Structure 1
Amino acid sequence: MDTLKNSLYPGASDASVAMVLGYCRAAALDPMKKPVHIVPIWSKAANGMVDTIMPGIALYRIMAARTGEYAGKSEPEFGPDKTISLGGVQTRFPEWCRVTVRRLVNGQMCEFHAKEYWLENYATAKRDSEEPNAMWKKRAYGQLAKCAEAQALRMAFPEQTGGTNTDDEMQGKTFDLTPETPVVQIERPRHPDYVADYRGGLAQTSSVQGVMRARKAWARTVGEAETNGNPIPEDIQNQIAEMIDARQDELADRFAREEANHAHEDRIEVPA
């Protein structure tokens, strides 16, 4: 997880990276190839930014290729350039982009055309601003081409892509949920009360070797939880590690005192 946080998802929380790992595991994807992205999206229901896992255009291409029926795509075709003021900034962009994706259906070549408009797709620099963000200003053509390709891939491979949007399409967007709109919240499996379990288990452990076995078992538990995409909170990990250290020190001191007492008794001479 640290590798993903430090390289592919800098600044992301443990929970968000864990969602990435869970997504990739379920779809048999290599997380190091960054098939999905963590996109902060403003949620009116939550009244704040919500980290959301979104597929990238690369994932759509992977899913299409896995079918064995993907037959490539056309070069993006762009409409006329427009220059207008957005948020007080003069912005030049292509009005639209068209992309065609080809798929073999029952041995027949079929084409799926998608046409996307820049003004309907661009991401804003701020939630309450019309100014495009840096990426959409710098790559007005490239970003729109990815959105058009994503739409064409959804049309050609609906069973693979479903109704999800890519990160390029969702940047700067808002989850506009009314109170009547059902919100599905995915709750992660709850962890057992590790602190209580280890407190009781360590209290019954009467040897340093037993504490060392408990330490190894805890390391395995932490590793398995992270691998399963449901990491144990760091404060819990630290608390149990401190409990194990304290119990090991306590037993080591006790055995040292007992050894010292035995040695002292051995030196006492018994009167004749």
Structure 2
Amino acid sequence: MNQIAPVAPRDEDALISVLQSSVYPGASPDSIRLALSYCRAAGLDPMLKPVHIVPMWDRNEKRLRDTIMPGIGLYRIQAARSGAYAGKSEPEFGPIVTLKLGGREYRVPEWCKVTIRRVVAGHVCEFTAKEWWIENYATAGKDTDEPNAMWAKRARGQLAKCAEAQALRMAFPELVGAQPTAEEMEGKDLAPLPPARGPVVEHEAQQRQPEWQAMQWPVCDRNGRCREMGDPDAWEAEMLRRIEVIQTNRSLDPAMKPVLIRQVRDANRAVVEWLCERGYAAQVEGVVAAFRAALGEAEPVNGAGDDGIPPGLFQTTPKEVSA
């Protein structure tokens, strides 16, 4: 994708006018300037619409706020230009189920599965994502559970995009990062921080807070990119999924699997500590236990510490091996 060339202020106003009339009709000039800034930072051509301007409800500010997000098209281009992209499968859909939402019945696919293929060290590896319609659809408004017009009309197409985006994140984490696409977040809320339920560690004023502390339930990768999961159930499911993806990947050397699982654990070490400090130790305990089991580490003898943080994620104890 071609990089955007530097433009003078007068030329930028003309470019914003063009984008407003063609690529982003109805968007405000300020929102288009945000999109231009995003494109400049990433070296993208705004005329190809690599990012979307998505109105999202901000629960803190109690208003709609335009948010700049990548589109599924940008994910596809970045994967293709990597030189390692080896294609993808046709979307595989689960059974059609009937859901009653907003007083109406909707027939939708229960789930969708997409596989992305990537060449790694000369071998074609498969990365499969399975996404559920009920967990991904966007509502028609903040006070109803009825799907919006797009999800009601294109139940299969929208879900397929979400599954493909998740699979691309798994296959190309260094290229597409962890930020959800506009197709995944259209109609969703910007969630506020969870209320503190316990002691909060005070940070020095000059210390910059990590970006994930502005999220509610973040999951991070080894490159420091984090994704908002929204609630504890989705957070736990995503953490367990990452362990399972490594354990069930037949293309990986068995000796590498514990190494990769430890990388996932280390990438989320600070997140788990932070959640525990805010009083969510019970919600993260299952994930801590899953990492111990996957790595063959024994349960700590003394239980949780005085701070309420489940042990085992930070101080590991190998299982005893009988002679």
Shorter-chain TM band: 0.5 to 0.7
Residue of structure 1 in register with 2:140 after alignment:
125
Q: Distance in 1 between matches of 2:110 and 2:19?
A: 37
The CA deviation string for residues 223-247 of structure 1, in whole angstroms up to 9 with x for no partner, is: xxxxxxxxxxxxxxxxxxxxxxxxx
Residue of structure 1 in register with 2:36 after alignment:
21
Q: Distance in 1 between matches of 2:175 and 2:158?
A: 22
1:112 to 106, 122, 127: 127
Pairwise mapping of residues 52-67 of structure 1 onto structure 2 (< 5 A)?
A: 52-67=67-82
Q: Distance in 2 between matches of 1:88 and 1:31?
A: 41
Equivalent position amino acid for 2:100 in 1: S
Task: Give the structure-2-normalised TM-score.
Answer: 0.55
Pairwise mapping of residues 164-243 of structure 1 onto structure 2 (< 5 A)?
A: 164-178=179-193, 182-183=213-214
Structure 1 segments, 4+ long, off by >6 Å, are none
Equivalent position amino acid for 2:53 in 1: I
Residue of structure 2 in register with 1:225 after alignment:
none
1:24 CA displacement:
1.4
Equivalent position amino acid for 2:41 in 1: A
Q: Which structure is larger by alpha-carbon Rg, 1 or 2?
A: 1
Equivalent position amino acid for 1:51 in 2: D
1:28 CA displacement:
2.0
Which has the larger displacement, 144-153 or 63-72?
Answer: 63-72
- Is 1:135 aligned to residue 150 of structure 2? yes
2:174 to 141, 159, 162: 159
Residue of structure 1 in register with 2:266 after alignment:
none
Q: Distance in 1 between matches of 2:77 and 2:43?
A: 11
2:49 to 14, 27, 34: 34
1:22 CA displacement:
1.3
Q: Distance in 2 between matches of 1:150 and 1:76?
A: 12
Residue of structure 1 in register with 2:116 after alignment:
101
Which has the larger displacement, 133-142 or 19-28?
Answer: 19-28
Which structure 1 residue ranges, 5 or more long, are not aligned? Answer: 185-272
Residue of structure 1 in register with 2:230 after alignment:
none
Q: Distance in 2 between matches of 1:160 and 1:140?
A: 28
Tell me the C-alpha RMSD between the 2 structures. 1.5
The CA deviation string for residues 46-71 of structure 1, in whole angstroms up to 9 with x for no partner, is: 22111101111000001111211011
The CA deviation string for residues 172-220 of structure 1, in whole angstroms up to 9 with x for no partner, is: 2112212678549xxxxxxxxxxxxxxxxxxxxxxxxxxxxxxxxxxxx
The CA deviation string for residues 74-124 of structure 1, in whole angstroms up to 9 with x for no partner, is: 000000001121111211110000000000011111000000000000111
Using the aligned pairs only, state the percent identity. Answer: 62
Equivalent position amino acid for 2:62 in 1: N
Equivalent position amino acid for 1:145 in 2: A
Q: Distance in 1 between matches of 2:40 and 2:184?
A: 24
